[in-house]
């Protein structure tokens, strides 16, 4: 009796495939992770060496195209930036050691000011596309940088705080 | 054996040939048109529904949010019942929401949601809903989709003819279905007649939504079943159906159905409002809870109130009248123009429609047919606008479209019936599956209903879905009402019993829906807005842990120095500021619930460790690739141990 059932099931399955199928296409394509569009993905040079990781000409991807930096430090702005940093960022970033994310000290000598602000303001796109940010994500054990919905003004203040820290 | 196999194969093959074809004889609605019907309810992945529908959860005590036309459930909002999913009614911040004069009540029976209005149109600010069992009215924010306020209704029992709002949300009403001694007293039940009362409570709503009881109308001891406000010309009036005008106190199934007609009570609330503003009414003792959730402190508070203003309807000339209405009317519905008041005589086949303008004339002409406890009874024929004859069996509720049509549910004959206002002719009828209670048309109870969809809210689910044992969810059905004939489009299950629903176009709500709680607006007493401020404090055997969470760690995540017999308060703040990044908090052996904490929010739960050891806690909401790493340990030492408090994250 079991064998009858088995045969019946097998037949059922086969016939269903024949009689109801027809929709599937034969051609197979390699599906790559994150490849949602049909556009050719640009091949980006991977930033692996430490030399690639210091690229002051890379302004990153995001709303900030250029930042005007004054000669000195705007202390009021830096103090505000420190306050915002403490509230919004310090859970993952420490100044003098790597914590969840990279250590901050000396960052203004490693990254363009625009890159720093874009990383704060547009982390999702940065870690998806920017070669340095992509490498940092890997080094940070895939802990994604959180978008803390900081305003552009506050991001600028955070940059000023970093600048002040790096001159001391 | 082989022969048998081949016979089977042939049989199955032919079966499949049939099943792959178009089965036009499908018993499901749609039949040959089913592909067209499917398109009408199809909302493609990533796209949004056109309407929000808020369905009462009945005995779940909560409110569910659905999208129409897809019938997808979007959210369950806890209102009158504890909700361990996010800690509502368990967390220290929210337990005051469920306080009443009877103490902490962890559940409720939610009934009739109604959306706030401005100038007779839904404005999408709040949705109100009543609790029938322990009489209460709740206000839910449609920015946060959270319960912000619950007010208990004193001297009431069976808070059923509630929580309908007036044209400018001046009032939300709460009527009594079970008449009771007023105020409560220890008397023999058979002394009911003449001694019990049916108070109707008018709750004023201020511009921020704040509710306060303005006055309570001390009505005769009938059962006030449902109600709706006047609109347009009849704005300023409120209409309530009554049954059990027999005032039977036992075997009501029989004894409350003796009179051929009960009443629709017409209440001129503007007149009474003026009367109380001029010092009218009598302040009497009362005991009721007023619970308010403050979004700034993220904490609810309970205030016990002890007075209520009561008004004897006979003291306000021309304020209250009874309109005789046949057969224990249930639904009391007012058409978009405000002219017609529909009494759905539930033990009948007919609908009785009263005319507001005729009612005014009858009042002016004193066309009375006696009185009931001193309240004038208007002559039946003097207010009658018409009768919808033989609509079906057991009419319950009526809603309206924007083209002068009305749609009535018939419980006993399980159908929805479309008829024309003014001519009272039946235009169409469609079966509903099964035993339909309320129906809902988005924009209902307003001057401008949308005539596109109707939802029927059915009491019996039976065979509509895959069986799930004896206990089933209820069922709702979506009809397209844009054409001459109604067309059944979709079945979808509902959570709890959807007594009623309120629907509104998504555009009126969508843009205002909050994405996060802003950290810079978080004024919670125990918030930790900065990881450097995280700490653990001991006060006797009370230990307060000030903890933060961010993808993907807790601070602190190692705590020592907790002892058996301690009561540990975890005040946990989510430091994220991005949309939809919640974290959960779960402690092994916690006797209450977990916490689900949204970005910028602080919540508090308690834990009373009973066992020595090292015990983990963790995040319950999969927050990032490192979610599985989001955990910590608490060392619990014996009672009396000298282990000092220590905490760290490194």
Instruction: Provide the 3-class DSSP secondary structure of residue B325.
Output: strand
A interface toward B at CB cutoff 8 Å?
A: 3-4, 7-8, 11-12, 15-16, 19-20, 86-88, 90-92, 100, 141-144, 146-150
Domain boundary among B492, B512, B532: B512
B interface toward A at CB cutoff 8 Å?
A: 1, 4-5, 8-9, 12-13, 16-17, 20, 516, 519-520, 529-532, 548, 550-553, 555, 575-578, 581, 624-626
CB atoms B530 and A87 under 8 Å: yes
Q: Are residues B422 and B365 in the same domain?
A: yes
Report yes or no on A107 lying in a domain: yes
CATH number assigned to the domain comprising residue B577: 2.60.40.420
**Span B428-447, average pLDDT:** 96
Report yes or no on B215 lying in a domain: yes
CB atoms B530 and A86 under 8 Å: yes
Q: Are residues B223 and B323 in the same domain?
A: yes
| Nearest CB to B575 within list A91, A141, A144 | A91
> Which residue from A minimizes the CA distance to B552?
A143
Q: State chain A's mean pLDDT as an integer.
A: 81
Q: Are residues B482 and B568 in the same domain?
A: no
Interface test with B, best of A12, A91, A101, A144 (most B CBs within 10 A): A91
Report yes or no on B7 lying in a domain: no
Domain boundary among B495, B512, B529: B512
Chain A residues whose beta carbon lies within 8 Å of the beta carbon of residue B1: 3-4
Q: Are residues B205 and B348 in the same domain?
A: yes
| Cis bond upstream, residue B69 (ω within 30) | yes
| Contact (CB, 8 A) for B67 and B52 | yes
Q: Are residues B373 and B324 in the same domain?
A: yes
Could you tell me which residues come within 8 angstroms of residue A93 by beta carbon, excluding any fewer than 6 positions away? Answer: A85, A99, A100, A101, A102, A103, A104
Chain A residues whose beta carbon lies within 8 Å of the beta carbon of residue B8: 4, 7-8, 11
Percent residues over pLDDT 70 in chain A: 70
Give me the sign of the Cα torsion angle B324, B326, B328, B331. Answer: negative
Q: Are residues B508 and B523 in the same domain?
A: no
**Span B386-392, average pLDDT:** 93
CB atoms A91 and B516 under 8 Å: no
CB atoms inside a 10 Å sphere around CB A32? 8
What strand order describes the sheet that includes B340-345? B329-334, B340-345, B351-355, B384-388
Q: Assess whether pLDDT exceeds 70 at residue A7.
A: no
Distances (CA, A) of B107 to B50, B62, B83, B145, B253: 32, 9, 10, 19, 27
Q: State chain B's mean pLDDT as an integer.
A: 94
| Contact (CB, 8 A) for B66 and B73 | yes
How wide is the angle at C-alpha B325 spanned by C-alphas B366 and B360, nearest 5°? 30
Question: What are the pLDDT digits (tens) for B496-505?
Answer: 999 999 999 9
Q: What is the phi-psi region of residue A36: left when phi exceeds 0, alpha when psi lies from -120 to 50, beta otherwise? A: alpha
DSSP B345-406: ETTSS-EEEEEHHHHHHHHHTT-EEEEETTEEEEPHHHHEEEEETT--SSEEEEEE-SSSEE
CB atoms A86 and B532 under 8 Å: yes
Report yes or no on A112 lying in a domain: yes
Q: ipTM score of the complex?
A: 0.76
Report yes or no on B254 lying in a domain: yes
Out of A134-143, B292-301, B602-611, pick the least confident: A134-143
| Contact (CB, 8 A) for B242 and B262 | yes
Question: What range defines the domain where residue B579 resides?
Answer: 519-648
Q: Are residues B528 and B398 in the same domain?
A: no
Instruction: Provide the 3-class DSSP secondary structure of residue A127.
Output: helix
Which position has the higher pLDDT, B169 or A1? B169
Instruction: Provide the 3-class DSSP secondary structure of residue B584.
Output: strand
| Nearest CB to A143 within list B516, B529, B626 | B626
| Contact (CB, 8 A) for B205 and B172 | yes
Q: Are residues B411 and B537 in the same domain?
A: no
CB atoms inside a 10 Å sphere around CB A96? 10
CB atoms inside a 10 Å sphere around CB B131? 27
Distances (CA, A) of A12 to A20, B10, B18, B391: 11, 10, 13, 49
Number of domains in chain B: 2
Report yes or no on B11 lying in a domain: no
Min distance A108 CA to chain B CA atoms (Å): 24
**Span A17-41, average pLDDT:** 51
Question: What are the pLDDT digits (tens) for A94-135?
Answer: 999 999 999 999 999 999 999 999 999 999 999 999 999 999
Chain B residues whose beta carbon lies within 8 Å of the beta carbon of residue A91: 531, 548, 550, 553, 555, 575
Q: Look up the pTM and report it.
A: 0.88
Report yes or no on B27 lying in a domain: no
CATH number assigned to the domain comprising residue B354: 2.130.10.10
Q: Are residues B432 and B572 in the same domain?
A: no
Distance separating the N- and C-terminal Cα atoms of chain B: 72
> Which residue from A minimizes the CA distance to B630?
A143
Question: What are the pLDDT digits (tens) for B30-87?
Answer: 454 566 899 999 999 999 999 999 999 999 999 999 999 999 999 999 999 999 999 9
Min distance A28 CA to chain B CA atoms (Å): 24
| Contact (CB, 8 A) for B352 and B326 | yes
Domain boundary among B512, B530, B557: B512
Number of domains in chain A: 1
Rounded to an integer, what distance in angstroms lies between the CA atom of residue B73 and that of residue B59?
A: 18
Q: Which of B178, B319, B176, B179 is nearest to B238 (CA)?
A: B319
Chain A residues whose beta carbon lies within 8 Å of the beta carbon of residue B4: 4
**Burial B304-342, CB ≥16 within 10 A → b, else e:** ebeebbbbebeebeebbbbbbbbbbbbbbbbbbebbbbb
For chain B, what is the largest distance between any 2 Cα atoms, rounded to a whole number of angstroms? 96
Q: Are residues B499 and B526 in the same domain?
A: no
DSSP A53-118: T--TT---SSS-S-----SS--HHHHHHHHHHHHHHTTTT--SSS-SSS---TTHHHHS-HHHHHH
Report yes or no on A146 lying in a domain: yes
* DSSP label of B181: E
Q: Are residues B551 and B480 in the same domain?
A: no
Q: Assess whether pLDDT exceeds 90 at residue A31.
A: no
Min distance A149 CA to chain B CA atoms (Å): 6
Question: What range defines the domain where residue A150 resides?
Answer: 75-167
CB atoms A90 and B13 under 8 Å: no
CATH number assigned to the domain comprising residue A124: 1.10.760.10
Report yes or no on A96 lying in a domain: yes
| Nearest CB to A19 within list B17, B530, B624 | B17
Q: Are residues B504 and B546 in the same domain?
A: no
Report yes or no on A42 lying in a domain: no
Report yes or no on A94 lying in a domain: yes
């Amino acid at each position: 009796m079991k064998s009858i059932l088995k045969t019946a099931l097998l037949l059922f399955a086969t016939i269903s495939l024949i009689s109801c199928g027809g929709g599937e296409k034969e051609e197979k394509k390699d599906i790559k992770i994150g490849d949602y569009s049909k556009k050719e993905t640009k091949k980006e040079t991977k930033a692996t060496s430490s030399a690639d990781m210091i690229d002051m000409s890379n302004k990153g991807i995001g709303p900030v195209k250029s930042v005007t930096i004054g000669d000195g430090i705007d202390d009021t702005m830096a103090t505000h930036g420190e306050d915002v940093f403490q509230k919004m960022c310090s859970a993952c970033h420490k100044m003098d050691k790597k914590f969840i994310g990279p250590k901050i000290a000396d960052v203004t000598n490693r990254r363009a000011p625009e890159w720093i602000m874009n990383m704060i303001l547009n982390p999702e796109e940065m870690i998806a596309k920017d070669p340095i940010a992509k490498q940092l994500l890997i080094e940070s054990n895939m802990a994604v940088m959180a978008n803390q919905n900081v305003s552009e003004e506050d991001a600028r203040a955070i940059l000023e705080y970093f600048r002040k820290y790096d001159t001391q | 054996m082989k022969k048998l196999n081949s016979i089977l194969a042939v049989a199955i093959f032919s079966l499949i040939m049939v099943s792959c074809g178009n089965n036009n004889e499908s018993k499901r609605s749609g039949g040959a048109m089913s592909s067209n019907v499917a398109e009408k309810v199809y909302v493609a992945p990533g796209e949004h529904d056109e309407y929000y529908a808020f369905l009462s959860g009945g005995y779940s005590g909560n409110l569910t949010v659905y999208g129409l036309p897809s019938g997808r459930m979007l959210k369950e909002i806890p209102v009158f019942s504890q909700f361990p999913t996010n800690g509502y009614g368990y967390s220290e911040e929210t337990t005051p929401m469920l306080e009443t004069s009877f103490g902490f009540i962890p559940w409720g029976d939610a009934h009739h949601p109604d959306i706030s209005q401005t100038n007779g149109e839904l404005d999408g600010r709040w949705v109100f809903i009543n609790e029938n069992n322990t009489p209460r009215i709740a206000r839910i924010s449609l920015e946060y989709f959270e319960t912000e306020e619950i007010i208990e209704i004193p001297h009431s029992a069976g808070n059923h003819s509630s929580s309908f709002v007036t044209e400018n949300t001046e009032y939300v009403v709460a009527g009594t279905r079970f008449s009771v001694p007023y105020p409560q007293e220890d008397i023999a039940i058979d002394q009911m007649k003449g001694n019990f009362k049916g108070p109707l409570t008018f709750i004023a709503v201020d511009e921020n939504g704040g509710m306060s009881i303005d006055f309570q109308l001390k009505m005769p001891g009938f059962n006030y079943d449902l109600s709706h406000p006047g609109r347009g010309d009849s704005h300023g009036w409120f209409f309530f159906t009554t049954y059990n005008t027999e005032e039977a106190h036992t075997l009501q199934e029989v004894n409350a159905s003796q009179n051929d007609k009960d009443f629709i009570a017409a209440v001129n609330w503007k007149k009474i409002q003026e009367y109380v503003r001029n010092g009218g009414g009598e302040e009497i003792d009362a005991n009721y809870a007023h619970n308010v959730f403050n979004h700034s402190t993220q904490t609810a508070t309970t205030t016990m109130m002890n007075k209520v203003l009561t008004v004897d309807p006979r003291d306000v000339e021309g304020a209250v009248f009874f309109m005789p209405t046949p057969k224990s009317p249930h639904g009391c519905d007012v058409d978009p123009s405000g002219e017609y008041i529909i009494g759905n005589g539930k033990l009948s086949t007919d609908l009785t429609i009263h005319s507001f303008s005729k009612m005014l004339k009858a009042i002016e002409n004193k066309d009375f047919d006696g009185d009931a406890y001193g309240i004038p009874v208007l002559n039946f024929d003097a207010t009658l606008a018409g009768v919808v004859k033989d609509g079906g069996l057991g009419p319950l509720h009526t809603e309206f479209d924007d083209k002068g049509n009305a749609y009535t549910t018939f419980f006993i004959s399980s159908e929805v019936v479309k008829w024309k206002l003014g001519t009272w002719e039946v235009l169409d009828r469609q079966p509903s599956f099964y035993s339909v209670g309320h129906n809902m048309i988005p924009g209902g109870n307003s001057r401008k209903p949308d005539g596109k969809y109707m939802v029927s809210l059915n009491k019996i689910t039976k065979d509509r879905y895959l069986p799930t044992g004896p206990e089933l969810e209820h069922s709702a059905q979506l009809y397209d009402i844009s054409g001459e004939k109604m067309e059944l489009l979709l079945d979808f299950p509902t959570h709890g019993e959807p007594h009623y629903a309120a629907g509104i176009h998504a555009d009126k709500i969508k843009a205002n829906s909050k994405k996060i709680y802003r950290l810079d607006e978080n004024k919670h007493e125990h918030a930790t807005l900065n990881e450097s401020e995280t700490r653990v404090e001991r006060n006797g055997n009370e230990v307060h842990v000030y903890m933060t969470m961010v993808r993907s760690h807790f601070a602190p995540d190692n705590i020592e120095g907790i002892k058996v017999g301690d009561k540990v308060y975890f005040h946990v703040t989510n430091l994220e500021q991005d949309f939809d990044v919640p974290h959960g908090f779960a402690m092994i052996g916690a006797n209450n619930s977990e916490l689900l904490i949204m970005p910028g929010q602080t919540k508090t739960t308690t834990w009373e460790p009973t066992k020595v050891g090292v015990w983990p806690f963790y995040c319950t909401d999969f927050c990032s690739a490192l979610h599985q790493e989001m955990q910590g340990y608490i060392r619990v030492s014996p009672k009396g141990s000298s282990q000092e408090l220590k905490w760290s994250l490194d």
